Structures are given as C-alpha cells and as structure tokens.
Amino acid sequence: MLIVTKFGGTSVGDADAIKRAASIITDLAKDSRVIVVVSAMAGVSDSLLDMVSGEKKDPAEIDSFIKSLGNKHLEAVDQSEIPDASNVTEKINKLLDNLRKDLEHLYCGSSETHEKYTILGYGEKLSATILTAVINARRPASCHFGDDNLIITDNYFRDASPIMPETEPAIRGTLLPVLENNVIPVITGYIGTTRDGRTTTLGRGSSDYIASVIGAVLDADEIQIWTDVDGVLTADPGIVPDARLLDRISYMEANELAYYGAKVLHPNTISPAVMKNIPIRIKNSTNPDSPGTLITDKVEVTPALPTAITSKKDVILIDVNSAAMVDAFGYLSRIFDVFRKFNVSVDMVSTTEISVSVTIDKFYTGKLEPVIEELGKIARVRVMKDKALICVIGEGLESAAGLTGRVFSAMGEMGVNIYCISMGALEMNVSFVVDLEVADDVIRTLHEMFFSKSD
Ligand code: ADP
Ligand code: MG
C-alpha cells in the first residue's frame, strides 16, 4: 500500500497537533508506505502574505515579525518532546535568518515581484522541519524532509500550474528512492518551482492539490486529506452547525462542491485522482477514529435528494443583454472571448433568448473595467456586486424533477430575490444567484428542508 497524506494548517497548528499528526503518520507507516505533504502552521501563510502584500512597509516591522514567527515555531519544538532538539532548533533558526534576509531585500525595494513568492514558501519549510523531527524522535531515521523541487510549474507565480511532463520525473526520481529505503518523505505543500528555480505558489489551499498530483504520479492506493472537520459535510459547518457527515461521495460531487466554495478541498484536487481512479479520504486529525468521507468513482445515490449545499460568496453578476441576439452561437463566443482575453474565469453561466448572465469571483474586481468596456461593444451590460452563488449538488438530482420546484418555492416563501438560475449539463448541480446578505439564511433554510431529521 502507498498512501499520500496531507496535513492542513490546523493539523500542524501547535505542538499537540504536530504530535497527533506524527502519531497518525507512524501508525499508517506500520503497514503502508507513506508520503506526507504538509501545510504551514495555521495562521502562518496569512501572516507571510500580509508581510509581502499591500503598501510598502516599514523595515522595522521585520524584527518583530521574525521574533513572533520564531516564538511560534520554537515553542512548538520545545513542547514536542524531541529528545535532542538542538539540531531542529538550528534548522529553524537558519530558515528564519534566510527569511529575514529575503524580507529585508524585498523591503528595501531592490527585489523583483516573483521574490515575494519565495517568502510565502517559508511557512511550509518551517512546519515540515518540525514534523519531520517529531516523527524521527519516535522512529529514528524513518523520515526525511529534503526541501526538493518536486512540482515544476509555469510562471503564474500566484496560481501556478504544474507542468506534468517535468513534474512526473521529478516526483518519481526524488520520492521513489526515499520510499525504497523505507523512509517517509515529507513535502512542502502550497509551493512549486519554475524551470529556472524560482518559487511559485499553486494558490491558497493548494496543498490538497499537490498531494493529489503526487498520488496520481506514483499510483498511490489512497490520498488522505487530514483536516479539522470529520470529512465533507452536507454544508459549511460555519453556516450550518449541525451539518451532517457524508460517508461517501463521488468524484463528480466532490469536484462540484470544491469548485463552488466547500473549502474543505481545493478545487483542483479531484482531477489528478480521477485519472488514476485513486480514492480520496478526508479525515479529521483531531478525531482520527471517525471514518471520514471517502471519495470514489461511483456511489449509491438517494434519488431526488441533494448530497450537499454550498455557496460561493462575494461573486459579481454580469448580465449581458441584447434584443438582437440573432446568431446565438456567434454572440456567445464573442462574449466569452472577452472574458478569455482578460483572463477572467467565469463560475456560472445562465442564458436566455436575449441575455447571458455570468458570475465571476470578486477577486477580479480590479480587472473589471476593460471587460465591461469590451462587452459594452457587443450588448447592454449590467454589473451587480455583492452577490452569492448558491449550489445544490448531488448525483441524485438527475432524477429529481420536483427538487428544483421545492428549492424555488422555498425561496419564494422567504421572499428571496433570485437573479439567475443554472442547471449543470450533468444534472447534478442546481445553482442560483442571490444577494450576499441573505446567502447564509438561504443555505440554512435549504439545509433544514432537505436534511432535517424528519426528512
Ligand atoms: P486545512 O487547513 O486542513 O486545509 P481548510 O480550512 O482548508 O482546512 O478546510 C477545512 C474547513 O472547510 C472546515 O474547517 C470547514 O469550516 C470548511 N468547510 C466549508 N464547507 C465545508 C463542507 N461542506 N464540509 C466540510 N468542511 C467545510
Ligand atoms: Mg485547505
């Protein structure tokens, strides 16, 4: 058995979490070969992002930042019961020294933009160093963190994509010899490297994706995503506290959920696993006995019941409207060419005879002006901000003629304004746009309707 595991930020958030993660890993390693992908300790990526973003900062801030980052990591080392901790302390201090130099370089204004991504990668290097030491303290020489460049990416530094023909040999060449020696490789999540060795990031939450890429390349038996909830739930537990655990969902459902806002999985995680048909298991590192959620090819469906409800908050709705939409095909392609030209990705599309509505992430606000201008040459354009996309997802929807009716009559009863509706071609996703301010209430109402005990 080969298992690729990924531990998220809260699963290595402090010494107790790191010790729990180490126990999970050494338990698995008793009868499987194990690879570990690790995120930065919770909060660290955000604080690094804060240091490299926005206005030019005062170099005086570097000192206090390094101090508090050092305290956080050295405290975790102290409390992790590592017998000879001087070695790991030294490694942490070395990383902190390098980080300080990189920050100074950035703050004095002489660095290039891409150098900030090197800074963002320190969080994973720090956590990987500690986790490796804790595992080795329990099983000497059983674990290795080599800080190797495994994920070779393009030059989109913020949201880079792996270049598979180069990433595959890098993963095989680096990891197979380590596994061969019965050693557990620890790999930094979130970051990759360009062909010429510059650090990139694969986007927020992308450690899940990296685990999946590694699992697919090495034909792993399972990819395990260890996080802070029991698995994939019927809704975001932050919105619906009594959301239920889903013991099994399909790749397609997981993909839709991740894509439409369920933060528990990075949206790109599913596709590498699907290609090799590798099961993905979501598990709770604070409750390892819970069976978690298993994501596989096929699952039994409950007809006419959704699997989960999710939402993408803060989307912008753009309505392109023309009475003269005669040549429908040409019209659509002209509209989508505009989005493509400005590299704006569209989440949802809904069309009627005379209008096309799309939603885009609020992230694109800064790019909106030229998009609107070009669209304006084609038709009338209306932009509506502060909207949310609500998605009801499930393989069971295929046979659910009445479900859509139930959803929208519930919305009618709530007096909720629905801006547009879209049903996925695969009939496993009914999505619609509402005002951001009512989104959570809408989710709670739908959840109650579909998943309350009496249902
Ligand atoms: P990690 O740091 O382990 O990657 P994340 O914070 O990225 O963890 O993802 C886990 C979180 O996703 C949960 O704590 C939960 O609040 C949120 N979440 C949102 N929607 C769902 C859902 N449908 N099922 C489970 N968790 C969800
Ligand atoms: Mg995550």
Of 41-55, 165-179, 207-221, least confident by mean pLDDT is: 41-55
227, 283 contact by CB (below 8 A): yes
Read off the amino acid at residue 45.
Answer: S
* Per-residue pLDDT, 332: 84
Is the CB of 236 inside a 6 Å radius of any atom of ligand 1?
Answer: yes
Name the pTM for this structure.
0.95
Please give the full DSSP string across 335-365, using - where no structure is assigned: HHHHHHHTT--EEEEEE-SSEEEEEEEGGGG
Q: How do residues 70-92 score in pLDDT, each as one tens digit?
A: 999 999 999 999 988 999 999 99
Indicate whether residue 235 lines ligand 1 (CB < 6 A): yes
pLDDT for residue 235: 98
Each residue's pLDDT tens digit, 132-166? 999 999 999 999 999 889 999 999 999 999 999 99
Least-confidence region, from 168-172, 213-217, 423-427: 423-427
**pLDDT above 80: residue 426:** no
Instruction: From 233, 264, 290, 312, give the residue whose CB has the most ligand 1 atoms within 8 Å, as the site to mutate.
Output: 264
Residue 56: pLDDT band with limits 50, 70, 90: low
Residue 373 one-letter amino acid: E
CA 8 / ligand 2 centre spacing (Å): 6
In contact, 8 and 286? CB cutoff 8 Å: no
| pLDDT at residue 325 is higher than 70 | no
pLDDT at residue 216 greater than cutoff 90: yes
CB of 338 closer than 8 Å to CB of 376:
no
Q: Which residues surround ligand 2, an ion (CB under 5 A)?
A: 8, 205
SS3 content of the chain, % helix, strand, coil (to 5): 45, 25, 35
**Phi and psi (nearest 5°) for 80?**
-100, 10
Lowest mean pLDDT among 3-17, 57-71, 107-121: 107-121
Sign of the C-alpha dihedral computed for residues 24, 25, 30 and 34 taken in this order = positive
Q: What pLDDT, in 10s, does the model give residues 279-301? A: 999 999 999 999 999 999 977 87
What is the pLDDT averaged over residues 100-106? 93
Give the pLDDT band (50/70/90) at residue 274. very high
Answer yes or no: are the C-beta atoms of 216 and 273 closer than 8 Å: yes
**How large is the average pLDDT for residues 429-438?**
94
Q: How far is CA 300 from CA 21, 291, 451, in A?
A: 32, 18, 17
Residue nearest to atom 5 of ligand 1 (CA): 264
Over residues 306-317, the mean pLDDT reads: 95
pLDDT at 299: 78
Q: Is residue 455 pLDDT above 60, yes or no?
A: no
Q: Which ligand is nearest to the CA of 206?
A: 2
224 vs 208: CA distance, rounded Å = 9
Q: How far apart are CA 85 and CA 302, in angstroms?
A: 53
Give CA–CA dist 125/191, Å, rounded: 10
Q: Is the CB of 262 under 6 A from ligand 1?
A: yes
Q: Confirm if 179 and 219 have CB atoms less than 8 A apart.
A: no
Q: Measured from the CB, is residue 8 less than 6 Å from ligand 1?
A: yes
Mean pLDDT of 98-120: 89
Location of structure tokens 């070969």: 33
Kindly list the structural domains of the chain, giving each domain's residue range(s) and its CATH number in brackets, ordered by start. Answer: 2-228 (3.40.1160.10), 308-451 (3.30.2130.10)
Q: What is the mean pLDDT of residues 18-29?
A: 98
CB 273 within 8 A of CB 223: yes
Tell me the average pLDDT of the chain. 93
Write the residue with the smallest CA distance to atom 11 of ligand 1.
264
Specify the pLDDT at position 333: 87
Res 364: pLDDT: 93
Pair of tokens at residue 82: 């590592």
Whether 308 is in the pocket of ligand 1, judged by its Cβ within 6 Å, is yes
What is the rounded average pLDDT of the residues 295-317? Answer: 89
